[in-house]
Amino acid sequence: MTYTHIGILAVIAVVLIDLFGFRTKLVTRRVFWVSYVIIFVFQLLTNGVLTGFRIVRYSGDAIVGSSTPLDSPPPFLGDGRVIFAPVEDLFFGFALVLLTLVMWVWLGRIGVQRTPNAGPPRWRK
């Protein structure tokens, strides 16, 4: 399995978890997509820095684009990359953010929260 396959499977799995597992249906809400745009901008910035400075490198066999030689930076756009990072990183970022928010909403619905919401941990009382 390649990085691309795993990224696509992660998105499909988390969307199914959202819609049918926990039934939070965040992907059907406008507020989720507006929030995700803000997160998306910072994800592009972070991924761009990490891959543009070659802190993180990818094998051309595992991503949509190709790998780049060690002495040259990856392309800014094109060859399966967006702001230096492979498009697959966007899949993983989406899945991570959606799963986190699904769990947050679901845990709130079932009443898993501290009372009071501030102060020392309960075990210190």
CA atoms within 13 A of residue 62's CA, in its CB half-sphere: 10
> What pLDDT score does 124 carry?
53
Long-range contacts of 28-32 (CB under 8 A, 24+ apart): 32/98, 32/101
pLDDT of 70 reads: 61
DSSP string, 9-36: HHHHHHHHIIIIIS---GGG-HHHHHHH
Distance, CA of 102 to CA of 13 (rounded, Å): 12
| Type of residue numbered 3 | Y
Q: Residue 79 has what pLDDT?
A: 80
Q: What whole-number distance in Å separates Cα of residue 94 and Cα of residue 83?
A: 16
Ranges of residues in the chain whose predicted pLDDT is under 50: none
Question: The whole model's pTM is what?
Answer: 0.79
So what's the pLDDT on residue 53? 86
Contacts of 116 (CB under 8 A, 6+ apart): none
